[in-house]
Amino acid sequence: MCWSATADLTAGTAITAVGIACLVRTRRARDLPVAALPLILGAHQLIEAAVWRSGGGCGPATTAWAVIALPLLPVWVSFGVLLAAPPAFRPRLWWPAGVGLATGAYLSYCLATRPVSAEIRGHILGYCVNVPWMPLVLAGYLFATLGSLLISGDRGLRRLGALLAAGALVCSALWRLEFASTWCAFAAAASTLILARTRDRGFSLCTRGPGPGDTGPVTPARTANRPTWRR
């Protein structure tokens, strides 16, 4: 969330562009869900710009925002981390993935059976949907998203989890004060980290050196460029 329609539109456009770059630079299929996160976050900001323009309420933009924020993200993040994490860490990541799936299913039921509305409160947008057992659902949501990142065993993903955890705390405090929402800034920072990760995990061309039976200097004619996948 940002503090105005213009801020959401600007941040959403920039983050969406980063998301496209992340997808273009990703070479491993199992990294694609994490690489697509900036694209989802950017679309989320653009949708919220439409919520601002409409003055809140219960329109299609509000519903679309809630679908991404509530049921989609815990499932997408937890399973994306499960796929992208080192193989040795994947068994433990089935726990947040399972919790994310259950949380997403329950939140989908809540959205399907209860209205969701948005209200402009100063420099923030407040969203309201009736979710029974909210403390338990919130715990499952955080375990599926932040928890999966923090226990992923991947340094880049752990760094992303720490950043988003700090962002959630800061944004929650500012939201309670109804001062301003800074989530768009943290979404941009998170997208930058994901872009850096796609660069580190990307595709490179390496030059093959002389083999065991080769003698003499290596010349361009005797050099083969072979694609190498980085782990």
pTM > 0.85: yes or no: no
63: amino acid identity, one letter: T
The residue with tokens 């997408």 is 76
CA 152 to chain centre: 14
DSSP type of residue 143:
I
* Dihedral-angle region of residue 229 (phi above 0 means left; psi in -120 to 50 means alpha; beta otherwise): beta
The residue with tokens 């105005």 is 4
- The pLDDT tens digits of the residues spanning 76-119 come to 999 999 999 999 999 999 999 999 999 999 999 999 999 999 99
What is the CA angle 96-98-102, rounded to 5? 115
| Residues counted in the chain | 231
Domain residue spans of the chain: 5-205
Q: Could you tell me if 131 and 66 are in contact, meaning their C-beta atoms sit under 8 angstroms apart?
A: no
- The pLDDT tens digits of the residues spanning 128-173 come to 889 999 999 989 999 999 999 999 999 989 999 998 888 777 766 6
Fold of domain 5-205: Rhopdopsin 7-helix transmembrane proteins (1.20.1070)
Cα(48)–Cα(71) distance, integer angstroms: 17
By CB atoms closer than 10 A (0-12, 13-18, 19+), residue 37 is buried
